[in-house]
Amino acid sequence: MSSFDTEVPPPQRRRAWTGVERTLAAMGLSGKALVIAAPAIWLTVFFLIPLAVVFGISLTVKQFGRPPYTPLLTNEDGTVQLTLHLNNYLRLFTDSLYVAAYLNSIKIALISTIIALLIGYPMAYAIARAPDQWRNILLMLVILPFWTSFLLRVYALSGFMRGNGVINNFLGLFGIEPLVMMQTDFAVYVGIVYTYLPFMILPLYTNLVKLDGALLEASADLGARPTRTFLTITLPLSMPGIIAGSMLVFIPAIGEFVIPSLLGGPGTLMIGRVLWDEFFANTNWPRAAAVAVAMLIVVVVPIMLLQRAQDAVQDKERAR
């Protein structure tokens, strides 16, 4: 008998997670279902259920007591009655205060997004084209403001723009009259752009750094000027980054509360401030809930439009 015939095959190694797989199979679950279940539970607990509670409160009316709104379900003599009030939503469309707040919020968020794009695009392009040893340093400088508190950054910004602030003191050295910047829409624009500019730069950088340099060289070899190369190659290929950055700036800006409160004036009416006043100053929880639900709808519509535009760009790239 040869030694080959007596050789014992090595024991078969058990795969990792075999016990987990058997346990899940016994429960009728698969690994795919478990992976999907985690975010589904998270969204249900922390988004859908709170949203349903807020929507339910928006269909009630204010009352004095705890809670400060009427119940949706009442039980009288064994009869359960559901009472829904739409007055809060009708008031949003008929009261000029809310209409002006929504329109002003959209205007400020839209203008701030355009300014952030005009400033962020050249910065992202410069970082993407910078030498490798400088790229990480420049990116760190972009995200460096996030290392400090958001509230402190906005409050420190007011120190630059107030009447006796840094900017007016500098202009005073040249005999220039002090500028009125605080308590104006200009200060709100500066605050929003300064705060959310990294959200515009980072998606643009991620898109521009993957741009094939051979395309730019081929365009230059064919005699195209830099402006035409940018408009026909760089800009179309960077549209996914532009759309992603615009969404990340526009969505939080439209419901901003802290920046208009610290930098804006009495005439700077934004929906975040109206919601705060309804909830805390007027203790009108149903009206505040209706404002929040309507604001969610206002935000979802541009998200869907931008998502459709992004899908169209990606489909066009795949078709090439």
pLDDT tens, residue by residue, 254-263 = 888 889 888 8
Closest alpha carbon to 289 in 106, 86, 40, 65:
86
Q: Residue 134 CB: number of other CB atoms within 10 A?
A: 11
Is 70:60 a contact under the CB 8 Å cutoff?
yes
Q: What are phi and psi of 172, to 5 degrees?
A: -65, -25
Strands 73-76 and 79-82: antiparallel
Mean pLDDT, residues 260-287? 86
Percentage of the chain exceeding pLDDT 90: 28
Apex CA 27: angle with CA 26 and CA 32, to 5°? Answer: 105
d(C-alpha 243, C-alpha 71), whole Å: 42
DSSP secondary structure letters along 131-195 = -HHHHHHHHHHHHGGGGS-HHHHHHHHHHHHSTTSHHHHHHHTTTPPPP--TTSHHHHHHHHHHH
pTM above 0.95, yes or no: no
pLDDT tens, residue by residue, 208-218 = 998 888 888 88
Both tokens of 30, joined, read 């698969």
Q: Given pLDDT bands bounded at 50, 70 and 90, which one contains residue 1? A: very low
